Amino acid sequence: MKNIRYGCGNLPLHQSLTPVDSLLLPFSSSSANANGTLGEHAKMLWCVAKRVCKAVHICLRKYRTQIYFYKQDKKGTRYTRFQKRGRFKLYKQLFIFLITLIIFLGGILTKLPFSIELNMAIASQTIQLPLSTRGAKIVDAKGKRVLLQGVNWFGIETNTHVPHGLWRRDYKEMLAQIKQLGYNLIRLPYSVQALRSSDVSGIDFSIGSNKELEAKTPLEVMDLIIQECDRQGLLILLDSHRLNDERIPELWYGDGFSEADWINTWIELAIRYKNQANVIGADLKNEPHGIASWGTNKILTDWRLAAQRAGNAILNVNPDWLIVVQGVENNVPGQKLKNYWHGGNLEGVKRYPIRLSRRHKLVYSPHEYGPGVYNQPYFLEKNFPKNLRDRWQIGFHYISSQSIAPILIGEFGGRLSDTSSPEGIWQTEFVKYIGDKNLSFAYWSWNPNSADTGGILGDDWQSVDLPKQQLLSQLLDVETRALAFAERSVGKLAVRGASPTGEGIASGPLSVVEGGNGGIRGVNTIASSLASVQLNVTTDIYSNWETGFCVSFKIKNSGTNKVDNWQLKFNMKQAVINNSWNANFQQRDLEYTVTPLDWGRVIEANQIRDIGFCANKQGNDYQPTQIKVI
């Protein structure tokens, strides 16, 4: 049999395959992981199936079942069919039955579909945890280079105490979409206040797996999200984003919390997740700025010294974690550049490096934004955008290029990703830079309700901002495919929004339409009293639960000329706003005046601006009324 080459139809298989191998080849390839090796379940299946098929093969030969083979001539240029004839019926049926049984058992044992998507679902298993550093690289336990390519999913650091969007989506579905788009990391912000609280809000528990989050504390919700990330092959970087739920402080203490509160929270988390391997590290403090310094040796303001204290305390109880340290804004002795973003100035690392008890656990992490967030002076220079790469090299990348430590871009993002607007040009250039330098990153943000940047998700919390994802896909290991979770219907309505949060509130006499997930959606169009302006506002309560609701206002310019410096006014009695997007909401008694952010002040002809908020109910009369644009 050594000179015989087996195949199906006219397509010969590999010369080294036996008849049994050729039968099992489809199952082995579909059970392989991303490196082409078999998982433990698949190996077990292979051994069992191979023995069964070999026994059947011998049985069939014994009873001279009709089988066709292909014989290759000595020159290897021609295949000649020859056959053995014999009784056929019973043993052919037995053969087919056993092969069918093998396929069935394969689906159970591997618990994975026979598809290309399999390799993506278990891709994280090719990263051998824990992670460490080697020069400018992050490496896994086998020394293989790892690029962290992630998103920021915020919300735990706000007064909802959970990641945002759970009023609209199943949290497991949300994580699956992140994975599907090619990301391998979630940077998960929290506040110390949230983790000490027992209350959560902003979750529709009637949506799918969200019922698992009911009656849970913020920390227990975090547990479940991290565990689900582990199941789906996503890594977690924890981020101490705020101390209280309201703002990002300049320093690592303040707002009613001490340094001990900050460090002790980190120690508690490091112990809690010590055996949760997909939690890879601690981003010690979000965006030190203001009076925060680097290398000044002032105990109250030198962020470098504080980071060392916290990092070593964490490594003392959990030596596996990466310690991620951001920069400052200013106050670095001898710094060359001005006008840094909060946390973006790492010039001081060369003269005043962080020194940890475990050298190979340190990662530096600048934040970088474009003119859509704030129009820094260097965006207005004549040599923009050619001036950007020199700034990035001086500000942070020298750390990587000199192999001092790896760089993880902890935040960057913007609304525009075109090649003509200043923000689009900046973002395109920075994505190219990240790719050219092989840097890890976490994009800000996954959420659409980041007021100045928007997110990867559309305002409905389900569709994807295609131009932005296409830009980011240049950095990812997979191509942008079916951009996940296209428009879905909720009840009788198609959920589709236009605001960075995808949340909304209703006003006036509402036309209530049946909504899914226990929510109420109202649609009410009110013409502006200023006919010359020709602005219309559509109010939509798209999420409504027992203690709160979310509403969006979509302001459309139906005229032929652009409108500038518009405002929205409404009354609201028994509700308190806890989160808003794309505008500033100012209250005076029962009346609210809403002013758009700078980028949204102008509404071109036929353009729509989307603003909104979420609020806590204080009674039954909570809906906004008397809504008008002026």
Show the tokens assigned to 285: 């403090």
Would you say residue 482 has pLDDT above 50? no
Q: What are the C-alpha distances in Å from 7 to residues 22, 61, 75?
A: 7, 17, 18
CA distance 266 to 260: 10
pLDDT of residue 103: 61
CA distance 302 to 299: 6
Q: What is the mean pLDDT of residues 370-384?
A: 97
CA distance 8 to 4: 13
pLDDT of residue 47: 55
For the stretch 26-57, pLDDT in tens is 444 333 333 334 444 445 555 555 555 555 55
Residue type, 109: L
CA distance 295 to 305: 8
Determine if the peptide bond prior to 333 is cis (ω within 30°). Answer: no
Higher pLDDT, 431 or 484: 431
Work out whether strand 520-527 and strand 535-544 pair parallel, antiparallel, or are unpaired: antiparallel
Yes or no: say if 91 and 98 are a contact pair by the CB < 8 Å rule.
no
pLDDT of residue 224: 98
Q: What is the mean pLDDT of the chain?
A: 80
- Domains and their CATH numbers in the chain: 7-120 (no CATH), 368-486 (no CATH), 489-629 (2.60.40.290)
Would you say residue 352 has pLDDT above 70? yes
CA nearest to 6, candidates 67, 64, 61, 69: 69
Q: Tell me what percent of the residues of the chain surpass a pLDDT of 70.
A: 71
Yes or no: say if 541 and 550 are a contact pair by the CB < 8 Å rule.
yes
For the stretch 465-478, pLDDT in tens is 999 999 999 999 75
Q: What are the C-alpha distances in Å from 178 to residues 68, 73, 138?
A: 48, 53, 22
Would you say residue 350 has pLDDT above 80? yes
For the stretch 239-258, pLDDT in tens is 999 999 999 999 999 999 99
For residue 411, indicate whether it is catalytic: yes
Q: Which residue out of 157, 250, 287, 347 is catalytically annotated?
A: 287
Q: What are the C-alpha distances in Å from 44 to residues 110, 257, 301, 413, 455?
A: 10, 54, 58, 46, 44
Show the tokens assigned to 95: 């053969």
In the structure, how many helices (H) and strands (E) does the chain have?
13, 26
Show the tokens assigned to 224: 């479940």
Would you say residue 568 has pLDDT above 50? yes
If pLDDT is split at 50, 70 and 90, which confidence band does 77 have? very low
Q: Which residue out of 250, 347, 411, 503 is catalytically annotated?
A: 411
pLDDT of residue 105: 60
Helices 171-180, 218-232: crossing angle, 10 deg rounding:
40
Higher pLDDT, 21 or 231: 231
Which DSSP string do the residues of 593-622 spell out, in sequence order? EEEE-GGGS-B-TT-EEEEEEEEEESSS--
Total-model pTM: 0.63
For the stretch 211-220, pLDDT in tens is 999 999 999 9
Work out whether strand 11-12 and strand 488-490 pair parallel, antiparallel, or are unpaired: unpaired
pLDDT of residue 84: 43
Which residue is listed with tokens 């680097």? 294
Higher pLDDT, 623 or 583: 623
pLDDT of residue 65: 42
Beta strand residue intervals within 124-283, DSSP E: 132-134, 137-139, 149-152, 185-191, 235-242, 279-283
For the stretch 485-543, pLDDT in tens is 333 322 222 222 223 333 332 222 222 222 233 232 333 333 333 333 578 899 988 77
Show the tokens assigned to 585: 């909401």
Residue type, 294: W
Residues in CB range of 309: below 8 A, 6 or more apart: 259, 263
Longest dimension (CA), the chain: 95
Show the tokens assigned to 579: 């989160």
Which residue is listed with tokens 């009674």? 619
Q: CB 207: neighbour CB atoms within 10 A?
A: 22
pLDDT of residue 49: 56
Q: What is the mean pLDDT of residues 122-139?
A: 84
pLDDT of residue 545: 75
Would you say residue 401 has pLDDT above 70? yes
CA distance 487 to 461: 10
For residue 287, indicate whether it is catalytic: yes
